[in-house]
């Protein structure tokens, strides 16, 4: 009798787990996608340890700067969050030229992309508000929280400003709110639910520049405002939208089949670009992308069973034409 009770209880627990996993998996609607064959790390992609010489800057217990901005005095600004995997609270911090850290703005949330405008207002991407402006006193003004069709900017990601003052910014999704499970959902579904937008500070108008992108991430305007770049993290590529010239209004691929998950991008003074990566390509992720059912199974697992991104540091130097000039690594993360 006792054994039968244990067997019934075990069956009930297993059945309950199956039901929970099925329900969780059904909330994911993934598309099949076959990634290009991952490039070999040879030539200008060859591994090295050049990033190990970098100096770590203490953050007084805060975590996760996604971007940095530099004011006219050389002070650094970054959005940080309260814990390694805790995004429930955040600030914009200031690191002065002596290395001293202070609170610049209490955003109450993790702020990602940052860029100063010509008046030294800090334009930023805030997942809890949208595109915001922070003045020198740390006061926050919301510039845009949705596009002209009413689609909310749930995951504004990065921002850059053209010489004429037009603000270009990315939104990763208008359907999935920010969070670890939300990011996983976007990565696995492979749906073009992000985009690139522009904001005119004079008219307050928001325009859609690129509609339908895959995990829209880093943004950078070219040196002469000829084009603007948009990083598509899950497609391992960067798109280029032409702002001037014979190709004005057209979008093409700037560089494709990158060896990692591309993240932030910024323009150097010489017109070339720095491209940062979250980590290198995950072979398992590439293998399951063509198989929606497997993606559903993985998504159904609780967060504590999900694998974290590999600690692998990578930065790439790209020419203005999208050529790889040099790659820097810290293979230990």
> Per residue in 240-293, pLDDT tens?
999 999 999 999 999 999 999 999 999 999 999 999 999 999 999 999 999 999
Q: How much is the pLDDT for 19? A: 39
Q: What is the dihedral of CA 195, 112, 319, 54, to 10 degrees?
A: -160
- Average pLDDT of the segment spanning 216-236: 98
The pLDDT mean for the chain works out to: 92
Q: What share of the chain in percent tops pLDDT 90? A: 87
3-state SS, residue 135: coil
Query: Which residues pair with residue 251 across a beta bridge?
Result: 241
Sign for the CA dihedral angle at 137, 263, 221, 71 comes to positive
> CA-based angle 333:240:155, to the nearest 5?
60
Strands (E) located in 119-255: 122-126, 130-134, 140-144, 156-161, 167-171, 194-199, 206-213, 216-221, 227-232, 237-242, 251-255
Nearest to 160 by CA among 131, 185, 134: 131
Q: How far apart are CA 325 and CA 333, in angstroms?
A: 22
Whose structure tokens read 């798109």? 239
For 231-263, b/e burial (b = at least 16 CB within 10 A) is: bbbbbbbbbbbbbeeeeeeebeebbeebbbbbb
Q: Residue ranges of the domains in the chain?
A: 31-330
Q: How much is the pLDDT for 123? A: 98
> Per residue in 158-207, pLDDT tens?
999 999 999 999 999 999 999 999 999 999 999 999 999 999 999 999 99
In CATH terms, the fold of domain 31-330 is Neuraminidase (2.120.10)
Q: What are phi and psi of 268, to 5 degrees?
A: -85, 170
Q: How much is the pLDDT for 1? A: 55
- Average pLDDT of the segment spanning 140-144: 98
- Split at pLDDT 50, 70, 90, the class of 308 is confident
- Split at pLDDT 50, 70, 90, the class of 14 is very low
Neighbouring C-beta atoms of residue 106, cutoff 10 Å: 12
Beta carbons of 238 and 275 less than 8 angstroms apart = yes
Q: How much is the pLDDT for 5? A: 52
Q: How much is the pLDDT for 26? A: 72
Q: How much is the pLDDT for 295? A: 97
pLDDT of 8 over the 80 cut: no
Nearest to 111 by CA among 67, 74, 146: 67
- Average pLDDT of the segment spanning 130-156: 97
Instruction: Quote the pTM value.
Output: 0.92
> Per residue in 75-90, pLDDT tens?
999 999 999 889 999 9
- Split at pLDDT 50, 70, 90, the class of 333 is confident
Nearest to 169 by CA among 128, 214, 218, 122: 218
Q: How much is the pLDDT for 307? A: 85
Q: How far apart are CA 261 and CA 295, in angstroms?
A: 18
pLDDT of 2 over the 80 cut: no
What is the H or E stretch that residue 285 is in?
Answer: helix 283-288
- Average pLDDT of the segment spanning 212-233: 98
Q: How far apart are CA 173 and CA 71, in angstroms?
A: 29
């Amino acid at each position: 009798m006792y054994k039968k009770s244990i067997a019934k209880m075990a069956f009930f627990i297993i059945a309950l787990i199956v039901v929970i996993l099925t329900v969780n998996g059904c909330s994911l609607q993934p598309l099949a996608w076959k990634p290009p064959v991952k490039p070999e790390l040879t030539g200008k992609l060859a591994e090295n340890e050049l990033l190990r010489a970098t100096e770590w800057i203490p953050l007084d217990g805060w975590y996760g700067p996604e971007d940095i901005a530099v004011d006219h005095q050389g002070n650094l600004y970054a959005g940080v969050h309260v814990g390694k995997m805790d995004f429930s609270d955040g600030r914009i911090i200031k690191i002065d030229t002596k290395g001293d850290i202070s609170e610049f703005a209490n955003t109450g949330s993790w702020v990602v992309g940052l860029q100063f405008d010509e008046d030294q207002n800090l334009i930023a991407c805030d997942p809890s508000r949208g595109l915001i402006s922070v003045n020198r006193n740390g006061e926050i003004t919301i510039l845009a929280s949705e596009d002209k069709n009413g689609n909310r900017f749930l995951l504004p990601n990065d921002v850059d400003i053209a010489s004429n003052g037009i603000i270009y910014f990315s939104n990763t999704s208008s359907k999935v709110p920010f969070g670890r499970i939300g990011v996983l959902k976007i990565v696995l579904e492979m749906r073009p639910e992000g985009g690139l937008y522009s904001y005119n500070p004079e008219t307050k108008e928001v325009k859609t520049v690129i509609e339908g992108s895959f995990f829209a991430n880093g943004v950078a305007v070219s040196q002469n405002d000829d084009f603007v770049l948009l990083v598509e993290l899950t497609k391992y590529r960067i798109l280029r939208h032409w702002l001037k010239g014979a190709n004005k209004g057209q979008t093409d691929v700037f560089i494709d089949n990158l060896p990692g998950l591309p993240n932030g991008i910024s323009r150097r003074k010489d017109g070339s670009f720095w491209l940062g990566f979250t980590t290198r390509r995950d072979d398992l992720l590439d293998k399951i992308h063509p198989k929606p059912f497997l993606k559903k199974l993985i998504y159904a697992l609780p967060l504590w069973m999900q694998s974290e991104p590999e600690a692998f540091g990578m930065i790439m130097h790209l020419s203005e034409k999208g050529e790889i000039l040099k790659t820097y690594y810290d293979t230990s993360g």
